[in-house]
Amino acid sequence: MEITQLLTRLGEHLGKKILSTGEFRGEHTITLGLADLAEALRFCKESLGFDYLVDISSVDNLGDDPRFEMVYELYSYTDRVHLRVKAAVPEDNPNVPTVSDLWPTANWHEREVYDMMGIEFAGHPDLRRILMWEGYPYYPLRKEFPLAGKPSDVPEVAFTEAAPLAGGPFVTVPTEEGTVAREPRSRE
């Protein structure tokens, strides 16, 4: 089935619950309310054949209300089509239903979003940090998190002072020499 046919079926099922649709360079996006997200994703998996969850990510729109946005990238191997599903998440209650029961790989994606942005997933079987240590009080991908990092009181685990960026091991340097010379690992 082509993506337009799948979008028509999705529109028939969800009706006015779809807040907006868009297409850019052949990629189709639908935007829903958070309350309708679980129903829509279940329909995409079980009825439309989107059998592969490519990614789950989040966006911090600091200063906007709602502040956060969840983004789900779906793919159907049968039909060879891609669909992006978005839903806004309020800052005062950053809680989203889990889809780890639909796509097992969502377990890791949701843990990463929780760890980096502080968005929780209701019904997740093991919602704990995946990159930062338990008890870390910040969410590094939020826009208020400083680029230079924050001090840590756990010297055995992390830096005791904010790590400087300028000239650091992970920062490229401007040069006319080419990619190899700009690569941070070439300075080791």
User: Is pLDDT at 36 greater than 70 in this prediction?
Assistant: yes
Digit-coded pLDDT (tens) for 120-166: 999 999 999 999 888 888 899 999 888 767 766 665 655 555 555 55
Verdict on whether the full-model pTM lies above 0.85: no
Map out the domains of the chain with their CATH numbers.
3-145 (3.30.460.80)
The predicted pLDDT at position 145 comes to 85
The predicted pLDDT at position 86 comes to 98
What DSSP string describes the chain?
Answer: --HHHHHHHHHHHHGGGEEEEEEETTEEEEEE-GGGHHHHHHHHHHTT---EEEEEEEEE-TTSSS-EEEEEEEEETTTTEEEEEEEEE-SSS-EEE--TTT-TTHHHHHHHHHHHH--EEET-TT---SSSPTT----TTSTTS-TT----S-TTTS-SSPPP-TT-TT-----SS-HHHHSGGGG-
